[in-house]
């Protein structure tokens, strides 16, 4: 899948405005999240064959058996993360870099880890916003380990289905830091928000159910 030079036409922008209205109706209220999704041309992250359907509120394949999340899901997770300008955010599961771009558009300093070498290599080579979002740093590794060298983080976002809360990630959160993850088995996961209180205690809140591709351990070649 080769990313060709694509244009952001009036048609694309119009479809994005419609998409925003659709996810607003589904319950997303954070205007900063909606503005970021409206600003990012999602079709740049997909094979040109998907151009006509890039703004449907659906997940699509991105190669290596992985998917770009549904815009509503991206908005939902981003809203729960309460992203502020200059927040240091660790994302697990770079995938297409769409979610990272939404975070960067909101002013976050993004560190993102991908375990699939092919996706990581492709992102380094072909990421369409290299010059705009210099703050996104790409890593090839196992998200279960996080990035101890760059810790602590204000926020951590897992974009694959986690069977449990990874201890290493909780350790890498700042006091008052927030971890958002889809927690559950292969079939269904419950969106969960963990807040690390200043005394180290964890506060857990649960939200709607979602279906993500699994968070797998170890790196893949
Ligand atoms: N955030 C992505 C969607 C991710 S799909 C986007 O916006 O497009 C989930 C991604 O998590 C896949 O690319 C998968 O390879 C990756 N992944 C799964 N387990 C992982 C792990 N342990 N560490 C890092 N990445 C992982």
State which of 54, 71, 95 you would mutate to test the pocket of ligand 1, scoring each by most atoms of that ligand within 8 A of its C-beta: 95
The pLDDT, as a whole number, for residue 5 is 63
Average pLDDT over residues 134-157: 96
Map out the domains of the chain with their CATH numbers: 10-210 (3.40.50.150)
Q: Residue 102 CA: which ligand 1 atom is closest?
A: 7
Q: Is 122 in the pocket of ligand 1 (CB under 6 A)?
A: no
pLDDT number for residue 142: 98
Tell me the pLDDT of the chain averaged across its residues: 94
pLDDT at 63: 85
**Does the beta carbon of 103 sit less than 6 angstroms from any atom of ligand 1?**
no
Say if residue 3's pLDDT is above 80. no
Indicate the DSSP class of residue 176: E
What is the pTM for the complete model shown?
Answer: 0.96
Non-local CB neighbours of 209 within 8 Å, separated by 6+ positions: 184, 188, 189, 190, 191
Tell me how far the alpha carbon of residue 5 is from its chain's centroid. 23
pLDDT for 71 beyond 70? yes
- R_g of the chain, CA atoms, integer Å: 16
- What pLDDT, on the 0 to 100 scale, is given for residue 60? 93
What per-residue confidence (pLDDT) applies to 130?
Answer: 82
Q: What is the DSSP string of 10-70?
A: HHHHHHHHHHHHHHHHTT---HHHHHHHHHS-GGGGS-GGGGGGTTSSS-EEEETTEEEPP
Residue 45 has pLDDT above 80, yes or no: yes
Average pLDDT over residues 83-111: 97
Phi, psi (rounded to 5 degrees) for 161 = -70, 115
pLDDT at 1 over 60: no
| Ligand 1 atom closest to residue 218's alpha carbon, by position in its atom list | 22
Task: Indicate if the alpha-carbon torsion angle 198, 204, 205, 206 is positive or negative.
Answer: positive
* Minimum CA distance residue for ligand 1 atom 21: 143
Q: At what angle do helices 31-39 and 71-81 cross, to 10 degrees?
A: 140
Spatial distance between the Cα atoms of 177 and 156, rounded to a whole number of angstroms: 8
Percent of the chain at pLDDT above 90? 86
Instruction: Give the Cα separation of 199 and 170 in Å (integer).
Output: 13
Could you tell me what percent of the chain has a pLDDT over 70?
A: 98
Secondary structure E strands in 150-188: 153-158, 173-184
């Amino acid at each position: 899948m080769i990313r060709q030079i694509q244009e952001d036409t009036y048609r694309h922008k119009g479809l994005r405005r419609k998409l925003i209205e659709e996810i607003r109706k589904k319950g997303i209220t954070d205007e900063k999240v909606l503005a970021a999704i409206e600003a990012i041309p999602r079709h740049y992250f997909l094979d040109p064959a998907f151009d006509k359907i890039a703004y449907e509120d659906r997940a699509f394949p991105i190669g290596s058996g992985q998917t770009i999340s549904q815009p509503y899901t991206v908005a939902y997770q981003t809203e729960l993360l309460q992203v502020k300008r200059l927040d240091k955010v660790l994302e697990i599961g770079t995938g297409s870099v769409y979610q990272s771009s939404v975070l960067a558009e909101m002013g976050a300093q993004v560190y993102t880890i991908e375990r699939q070498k092919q996706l990581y290599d492709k992102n380094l080579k072909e990421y369409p916003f290299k010059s705009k979002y210099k703050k996104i740093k790409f890593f090839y590794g196992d998200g279960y380990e996080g990035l101890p060298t760059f810790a602590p983080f204000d926020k951590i976002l897992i974009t694959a289905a986690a069977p449990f809360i990874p201890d290493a990630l909780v350790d890498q959160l700042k006091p008052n830091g927030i971890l958002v993850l889809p927690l559950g088995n292969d079939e269904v996961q419950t969106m969960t928000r963990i807040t690390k209180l200043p005394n180290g205690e964890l506060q857990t809140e649960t939200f709607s159910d979602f279906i993500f591709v699994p968070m797998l351990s170890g790196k893949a070649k």
